[in-house]
Amino acid sequence: MTYSTPTPTPPPMPFPLPPMPDFSAMLGAWQGEMDAFQRKLAAMPKIAEILSRTKKGCTPHDVVMSEPPVRLLRYQSDAPKKHATPVLFVFALVNKPYVLDLLPHKSVVRRFLEAGYDVWMIDWGTPSPGDAQKTLHDYVEGHMHQMVQRVLEETGQDSLNLVGYCMGGTMSAMYTSLHQDLVRNLVLMAAPLDWSTEDSLLMTWTRPENFDVDAVVDAFGLIPPQFLGTSFMLLKPVANLFQKWTGFYEKMDDEKFLEEFFAMEVWSNDNIPIAGEVYRDFVKYGFQQNLLLKGKFPLGRKKIDLGEITCPVMNITADSDHLVHPCQSTPLKEVVGSDDYSEMSVKAGHIGLSVGSRAHKELWPKVCQWMAERSDPIGK
């Protein structure tokens, strides 16, 4: 008789044992990261070189008129002209306008030149303390009207296409309502027209109980660029202070990325002061009292009535715009007098509207086409 000792069964584990960690995969991943870091270190001299060759604007232009500090630019192009009706770009007063002509593949100006337009731009320049007293009326009915008349005089046309971006869009809408006969088509890009939304952080900050615009304007005269720059930066502090730089680190060995990054950085840090009285008008009658859509926004002795706009209107918004929410632009359709009103939206942020690759691929060809259908061809 044989006896066999039973094999002792191990006691059941209170929880299943994890499999062994994959050390080799982990080390491989970190090794890849170290290699990438070395590539980035090696790219340092290239970064300095690209930064040093970053330009402000890329398309050659002539300065046709100057009313210091404001200048009227006409862009040069070898592309054959197809449309007699010129295009005039109007940018905001808070930044330089060359974001519309940042790099050859990200230039809205070039898209219009390639489509056969005669392209002009108002460069508001950098206001000096002597300009602090200028009001919105001075800019719209003064400088802007002078520039529009000069464009028409130079081109021999009786009307032009007006493209306004951001605050420049608001000013363009105001101008069109006052001089409808001089504007053939109006294109608005992320133009704030309605300040009734509570979504915007800027709206919260500029409420009368939080912000005394009169005290700021009276104390400073010209609103310092740092003040505006910091306000815009604080709208997205994490993105501007951290995520932007982690993104930069990730792609700092990519030459094309660096060119675009530095072009944007140079532009976004190239802030200009804004005339105090313009700022007062805009904050008080726009942000705080929301008078524009009500037809009560005062400009000189007149009140702006957007119902006076009867030309074709294209209202472009950016889906992820944190500065001018789409709901601040689209209410225009409720008040505009035009029976040819269209809207377009692109998946981009406020500046992505002009420099985003999606906007250049999908939006601008359509806008050029829309405008072509409503402009005079050459030789007519």
Partner 1 sequence: MAEQPHNQQPPATDPVTAFWRDVWAKMAPAAPTGFPGMGSVPGAAPMPSFNPFMTPDMAKRMQSAFFDAMAQSAEQFMRSPQFLDSMKKSMDQALQFRRQMDDFLKLNMAESFEAATGGANAELLGAIRHLERTVTGRLDELNDRVDNLEGKGKPATPSSPASNSKRSRASSNRR
Instruction: List active site positions.
Output: 166, 321, 350
Whether the CB-CB separation of 275 and 132 falls below 8 Å is answered with yes
Task: Rank residues 76 and 205 by Cβ distance to partner 1 and give the closer one.
Answer: 205
**205 is an interface residue for partner 1 by CB under 8 A:** yes
* Residue with smaller CB distance to partner 1, 301 or 380: 301
Say which amino acid occupies 126: T
Please report whether residue 320 would count as binding partner 1 according to CB under 8 A: no
The 3-class secondary structure across 208-231, one letter per residue, is: CCCCCHHHHHHHHCEECHHHHHHH
Residue 25 binding partner 1, by CB under 8 A: yes
Nearer of residues 49 and 158 to partner 1, judged by Cβ: 158
Which of the residues 58 through 117 are near partner 1 (CB under 8 A)? Answer: none
Q: Which is nearer to partner 1, 242 or 269 (CB)?
A: 242
Can you read off the two tokens belonging to residue 336?
A: 């505009």
**91 burial level (CB within 10 Å; 0-12, 13-18, 19+):** buried
Residue 9 is a binding residue for partner 1 (CB under 8 A) = no
Kindly state whether residue 245 participates in binding partner 1, applying the rule CB under 8 A: no
Whether the bond into 80 is cis, omega within 30 of 0? no
Using the rule CB under 8 A, give the single segment among 6-14, 30-38, 106-114, 280-288 that binds partner 1.
Answer: 30-38
Please report, for residues 153, 249, 380, the alpha-carbon distance to residue 86 in angstroms, rounded to integers and kept in the order given.
11, 42, 14
List the alpha helices (DSSP H) in 269-363. Answer: 276-281, 332-335, 352-355, 357-358
**Which one of 17, 219, 373, 379 is in contact with partner 1 (CB under 8 A)?**
219
Residue 233 contacts partner 1 per CB under 8 A = no
Which part of the chain contacts partner 1 (CB under 8 A), choosing from 19-27, 64-72, 252-260, 342-350?
A: 19-27
Choose between 3 and 30: whose C-beta lies nearer to partner 1. 30
User: Whose CA is closest to 53, among 250, 357, 266, 252?
Assistant: 266
Give me the 281-310 binding string for partner 1, x by CB under 8 A, dash otherwise: --------------------x-----xx-x
The 10 Å Cβ neighbour count of residue 197 is 16
Q: What's the closest the beta carbon of residue 351 comes to partner 1, in angstroms?
A: 18
Residue from 338, 349, 352, 367 touching partner 1 (CB under 8 A): that is 338
For residue 254, which phi and psi values (nearest 5 degrees)? -105, 110
Listing DSSP states for 85-115 in one string gives S-EEEE--SSB-GGGGBSSGGGBHHHHHHHT
Q: Considering beta carbons, is residue 62 or 158 the nearer one to partner 1? A: 158
The Cα–Cα gap between 91 and 109 comes to 12
How many residues sit in the footprint of partner 1 (CB under 8 A)?
Answer: 46
- Residue among 49, 62, 153, 212 that touches partner 1 (CB under 8 A): 212
b or e along 321-332 (b: 16 or more beta carbons within 10 Å of the residue's beta carbon)? bbbbbbebbebb
Asked if 307 and 335 count as a contact pair (C-beta separation under 8 A), the reply is yes
Contact set with partner 1 (CB under 8 A): 18-19, 21-22, 25-26, 29-30, 32-33, 129-130, 132-133, 158, 178-181, 201, 204-205, 210-212, 215-216, 219-221, 234, 236-239, 242-243, 246, 301, 307-308, 310-311, 337-339
